[in-house]
Chains A and B, each alone.
Chain A
Amino acid sequence: MTQTPDIVVIGGGNAALCAAITAAEEGARVLILEAAPKPYRGGNSRHTRNYRCMHHGPLGPLIDSYSEDEYFDDLLKVTAGKTDEKLARLAIRTSEECLPWMEEHGVRFQPSLSGTLSLARTNAFFLGGGKGLVNAYYRTAEALGVQVAYEAQVTHLEVEDGRIVWVDFTQNGENTRLTPKSVVVASGGFQADTDWLTRAWGPAAKNFLIRGTPYNRGVVLADLLDQKVEQVGDPTQCHAVAIDGRAPKFDGGIVTRLDCVPFSIVVNKDAQRFYDEGEDVWPKRYAIWGRLVAGQPDQVAYVIIDAKSIDLFMPSVFPPEKADTIEDLAVQMGLPPAALRQTVESFNAACGDTSSFKHTELDGVATTGLVPAKTNWARPIVEPPFYGYSLRTGVTFTYLGLKVDEHAQCSVGNRPVSNLWAAGETMAGSILGQGYLAGFGMTIGTVFGRIAGRKAAAHAN
């Protein structure tokens, strides 16, 4: 870095890149400080696959239309009303003009992926997924003169008299202090810091898997919160889903999902069922099961299905355990064989008429007299071979973040920090109080990234 940049963007994912590109187009000299090495650049954006977008009539890969009100209603459903309506509607309304902007800046879309037809109207899928998007944005940013420092870990932002006076970071063991005119924080949540997660969740969090980047350790977030920058979101909460128990500790991403729960029985390590596996279609229950598994001993659960169901769900990344008897399967999975046999038998005995079984909808094929009941897709598990998967809790993101206003600006008390803006996951708690809506994270990142970039550039110029 020969010159002090006008703007420092902390983070290297979608929101950071949208901010950097927008600011560079306004003529500012921009430096991106990305904590990850180049192959892992892009934060959680590299694991994303689509962008939820309001639209009046067909737009890009999207069919029909998706109104602001429908979008907002969908958001209300998943957040149970815990959402900031003003900011949410701003994100929703602006999402439409962002899609052509994304295309102009190198993002390419593809038709809705196989197995995701339900999203063809509402979500635009990136060709190649989020890493394809991130690659395209880095190309665009670099062509605009944006400088990128990889493995550059920001250690401290000095807040003084309502502004950021300097930014400290380390790279290759060297400490550097910069004094930019504007700073954009887009460095995600803290879910990769297991100690922080454990403080928030209790010891169970030690057994959680982190679905995304290991670089979101919340260092900048903690630093700013310590200096009384306004926070938002429940500090004890994170978004978690049930994923394949064999997934890596970090960065397992999309492939570790398991869609077979509705066709299964799920037991804990004592081979006991604990919840209605057939409550609703899978994507809607995805998040609930993260919490359910977290509540079981050792934070682990086991899905058991039989030969009838093996082809009814998306293929798993690791092959399932497979055995000709329930007892053998139990042994392979480390479950008590007799207990599992008994659980399966009492479940089977509670199954009734299965002739109206239909795997694509709530079919009402339920158990009778069983606790907990299975209220849909309840077919006896009798047809060998039997298959099993282990389930663990996979954390997607944390809700605690920086509170921003409609200009993406941060504040101390009720006074704005004059040169600090935030975008993406690190401020998503300002909009999402709980729950998650597929593709909305990228919408927040794109909309607020662009706002932050524009405001940061206006301040710097």
Chain B
Amino acid sequence: MQIDLIAEARRQAEVCNACRYCEGYCSVFPALHRERAFSDGDITQLANLCHNCRGCYYACQYTVPHEFDLNLPKALAEVRQDSWKTHAWPAGSGALFDRSGVVIAAGLTLAVAQLFALAQGMRPADGAGFYAYMSHWVMVAIFAPAFLLPLLALAVSMRSYWQTVGGGDVRLSDLKAAVVSAGRMRNLNGGHGDGCNFEDEDRFSQARRVFHQATLYGFLLCFASTSSGTVLHYAFGMEAPYELFSLPKLFGIPGGMLLCIGTAGLAYLKTKADPNLGAPKVWGGEMAFVALLFAVSATGLLLYAATGTAAVGVLLPLHLGTVLTFFVLTPYSKMAHGFYRMAALTKEAAQSRGLEL
């Protein structure tokens, strides 16, 4: 952990704690106002609770040129970014966060090339749809570890985070509260329901919230599509390709479309927003991550549209390459924020519950 980043966030949190004007914007301020002194763990927790809605920045009397020089969204973004590096597993892998854009580009090139080679070199003798290009077992051999190992890495990171912020036993009700909060993206509604500040300085809008939820729900639908395919395959012996009116397609097509729209929207908003209210160093990496997610969904939709044509031979490795990159980099890219955010929301639910008792 970088002590100077934590120290700067602490300095700012102490000013906020003497002011309290922003109490209604989000979960960060009620959590902050509960403390008189802030441990490193407290600051880390506040940082991961912050959704970077920026309401507090634009409402703040103490932003530059004021000598107090407050920029809480930035201070917390930098601690947050640093906390993901610190808790990344295996040790040293956190450095990947610093070069997220390069890592994503390199990963993508490597993954796509490898899958092209496999599709060419190990093309099965028979098989329908995309299985005509790559056998089921080759895909499983690649994707099972590429999916499970990052999850393992994240589990280790979550454990380490939970210890740092002093989390206790996890209650189901707190997890549920976290899911509801994220499901509604309550912390981007501004407290008044008008949305957050982002793309047009102090104007409140729902744009970021809507595009984020399109991305989130689009992603979950795509994940449901793959999962339902797996179940159909193994439990019912029903193999791809699937009909339009099958679970994988009913989840996958709207999911892919939502993911495309959501990521395109988020990328556009990001070009309008002030980079200095986040962690400016990772702006490029975050953009690369959004672009990667867009590529996952766009190539998936194209692959479906190209069913039965020779283009599948190109689109399949392209799509699988983006998915593989996405999976492998999940613990070391912006995707990690979802896991830390859920942990922070769960901790906050437990803390605020403790207060009501």
Chain A residues with CB under 8 Å of chain B are 39-40, 46-47, 49, 108, 110-111, 113-115, 125-132, 135, 139, 248, 251, 253-257, 311, 314-317, 319
Chain A residue numbers with a CB within 8 Å of B19 are: 129, 253-255, 317
**17 A-B pairs with C-beta separation under 8 A:** A108-B190, A108-B192, A108-B194, A113-B20, A113-B23, A127-B192, A128-B22, A128-B24, A128-B56, A128-B58, A130-B21, A130-B61, A131-B59, A253-B19, A253-B62, A311-B36, A316-B18
Contact of A315 among B14, B59, B65 (CB under 8 A): B14
Chain B residues with CB under 8 Å of chain A are 14-15, 17-25, 30, 33, 36, 55-56, 58-68, 190-192, 194, 202-203
Contact of B21 among A49, A317, A319 (CB under 8 A): A49
Q: A39-B65, A311-B36 are in contact. Are A129 and B18 (CB under 8 A)?
A: no
Chain B residue numbers with a CB within 8 Å of A131 are: 58-61
Q: A39-B65, A47-B61, A139-B202 are in contact. Are A128 and B55 (CB under 8 A)?
A: yes
Bound-state CA distance A254–B14 (Å) is 13
Chain B residue numbers with a CB within 8 Å of A49 are: 21
Q: Which residue of A lies closest to B66 (CB)?
A: A251
Chain B residue numbers with a CB within 8 Å of A39 are: 63-65
Query: Is there an interface contact between B58 and A135, defined as CB atoms closer than 8 Å?
Result: yes
Query: Is there an interface contact between A110 and B58, defined as CB atoms closer than 8 Å?
Result: no
Bound-state CA distance A291–B154 (Å) is 59
Chain A residue numbers with a CB within 8 Å of B18 are: 254-257, 314-317
Chain A residue numbers with a CB within 8 Å of B56 are: 128
Query: Is there an interface contact between A253 and B67, defined as CB atoms closer than 8 Å?
Result: no
Q: Which residue of A lies closest to B22 (CB)?
A: A128
Bound-state CA distance A396–B30 (Å) is 28
Query: Is there an interface contact between A315 and B36, defined as CB atoms closer than 8 Å?
Result: yes
Q: Which residue of B lies closest to A42 (CB)?
A: B61
Query: Is there an interface contact between B63 and A132, defined as CB atoms closer than 8 Å?
Result: no
Bound-state CA distance A115–B18 (Å) is 10
Chain A residue numbers with a CB within 8 Å of B23 are: 110, 113-114
Query: Is there an interface contact between A254 and B21, defined as CB atoms closer than 8 Å?
Result: yes
Query: Nearest Cβ distance between residue A171 and chain B, in whole angstroms?
Result: 19
Contact of B17 among A111, A128, A315 (CB under 8 A): A315
Chain B residue numbers with a CB within 8 Å of A251 are: 61, 66
With most chain B CB atoms within 10 A of its CB, the pick from A130, A254, A256 is A254
Chain A residue numbers with a CB within 8 Å of B202 are: 135, 139
Bound-state CA distance A255–B67 (Å) is 13
Chain B residue numbers with a CB within 8 Å of A314 are: 18
Bound-state CA distance A113–B203 (Å) is 23
Chain A residue numbers with a CB within 8 Å of B68 are: 248, 255
Bound-state CA distance A373–B290 (Å) is 67
Q: A255-B18, A315-B14 are in contact. Are A128 and B59 (CB under 8 A)?
A: yes
Chain A residue numbers with a CB within 8 Å of B33 are: 114
Query: Is there an interface contact between B24 and A127, defined as CB atoms closer than 8 Å?
Result: yes
Bound-state CA distance A47–B68 (Å) is 14
Query: Is there an interface contact between B14 and A317, defined as CB atoms closer than 8 Å?
Result: yes
Q: Which residue of A lies closest to B67 (CB)?
A: A248
Query: Is there an interface contact between A128 and B15, defined as CB atoms closer than 8 Å?
Result: no
Bound-state CA distance A253–B14 (Å) is 15
Chain B residue numbers with a CB within 8 Å of A40 are: 65
Bound-state CA distance A344–B93 (Å) is 57
Query: Is there an interface contact between B62 and A129, defined as CB atoms closer than 8 Å?
Result: no
With most chain A CB atoms within 10 A of its CB, the pick from B56, B58, B59 is B59
Query: Is there an interface contact between B20 and A132, defined as CB atoms closer than 8 Å?
Result: no
Bound-state CA distance A46–B55 (Å) is 15
Query: Nearest Cβ distance between residue A395 and chain B, in whole angstroms?
Result: 17
Bound-state CA distance A135–B17 (Å) is 22
Query: Nearest Cβ distance between residue B174 and chain A, in whole angstroms?
Result: 22
Chain A residue numbers with a CB within 8 Å of B190 are: 108, 127
Query: Is there an interface contact between A139 and B20, defined as CB atoms closer than 8 Å?
Result: no
Query: Nearest Cβ distance between residue A399 and chain B, in whole angstroms?
Result: 24
Chain A residue numbers with a CB within 8 Å of B21 are: 49, 113, 126, 128-130, 132, 254
Query: Is there an interface contact between B59 and A111, defined as CB atoms closer than 8 Å?
Result: no
Query: Nearest Cβ distance between residue B54 and chain A, in whole angstroms?
Result: 11
Apart from the given pairs A130-B61, A315-B14, 19 other A-B contacts in the complex at a CB distance below 8 Å: A108-B191, A108-B194, A110-B24, A114-B23, A115-B20, A126-B21, A127-B191, A128-B21, A128-B22, A128-B59, A129-B59, A132-B58, A254-B21, A255-B15, A255-B18, A255-B19, A316-B18, A317-B15, A317-B19
Q: Which residue of B lies closest to A251 (CB)?
A: B66
With most chain A CB atoms within 10 A of its CB, the pick from B21, B30, B66 is B21
Chain B residue numbers with a CB within 8 Å of A130 are: 21, 61
Chain B residue numbers with a CB within 8 Å of A132 are: 21, 55, 58-59
Chain B residue numbers with a CB within 8 Å of A128 are: 21-22, 24-25, 55-56, 58-59
Closest 7 CB pairs of A and B: A128-B59, A110-B24, A129-B21, A255-B18, A132-B59, A108-B192, A317-B18
Chain B residue numbers with a CB within 8 Å of A311 are: 36
Query: Nearest Cβ distance between residue A289 and chain B, in whole angstroms?
Result: 18
Q: Which residue of B lies closest to A108 (CB)?
A: B192
Bound-state CA distance A257–B19 (Å) is 9
Query: Nearest Cβ distance between residue A43 and chain B, in whole angstroms?
Result: 12
Chain B residue numbers with a CB within 8 Å of A317 are: 14-15, 18-19
Q: Which residue of B lies closest to A40 (CB)?
A: B65
Q: Which residue of B lies closest to A133 (CB)?
A: B59
Chain A residue numbers with a CB within 8 Å of B203 are: 139
Chain B residue numbers with a CB within 8 Å of A110 are: 23-24, 191-192
With most chain B CB atoms within 10 A of its CB, the pick from A39, A128, A314 is A128
Bound-state CA distance A172–B83 (Å) is 46
Q: Which residue of B lies closest to A114 (CB)?
A: B33
Bound-state CA distance A132–B23 (Å) is 12
Chain A residue numbers with a CB within 8 Å of B58 are: 128, 131-132, 135
Bound-state CA distance A251–B70 (Å) is 14
Query: Nearest Cβ distance between residue B179 and chain A, in whole angstroms?
Result: 25
Query: Nearest Cβ distance between residue A214 and chain B, in whole angstroms?
Result: 11
Q: Which residue of B lies closest to A132 (CB)?
A: B59
Chain A residue numbers with a CB within 8 Å of B66 are: 251
Bound-state CA distance A113–B21 (Å) is 7
